[in-house]
Amino acid sequence: MNLFQLFYRPKPGEHRIRYIVKGDADDFNVTFKCGNCSEVKQEPHIHKGWKHTFVGREGDYMYILAQSNKPNSDVNIMVYEDGKLLERITKTGDYPLIQASGTI
């Protein structure tokens, strides 16, 4: 259990969302939106095993896009809501690009 889980006490309608990006390369570009925040965040050249956790409310839009910066590689996105796996996407190829989106 991490500190976020230990101290996070959900209010009605709130959910803890976690994005994870993995793959066999060690260089990814990630673009994501966190629930009700209005700005889209971009992180270039991140390492595999990247994680981001936030609290969102029911009805908030969320998405994550990840691309490997290497040819002949794979990239994986996992999206969790309150510790439960919602979506897992994997793609292999030259500079593979994948996206997951939806509402909380």
Check if the beta carbon of residue 46 is closer than 8 Å to that of residue 5.
no
| CA count, 13 A, side-chain hemisphere, 55 | 10
Q: Per residue of the chain (104 residues), what is the pLDDT tens digit? A: 555 555 556 678 889 999 999 998 889 999 999 877 778 899 999 987 899 999 989 999 999 999 999 999 999 999 999 999 999 999 999 999 999 999 98
pTM of the predicted model as reported, rounded to 2 decimal places: 0.85
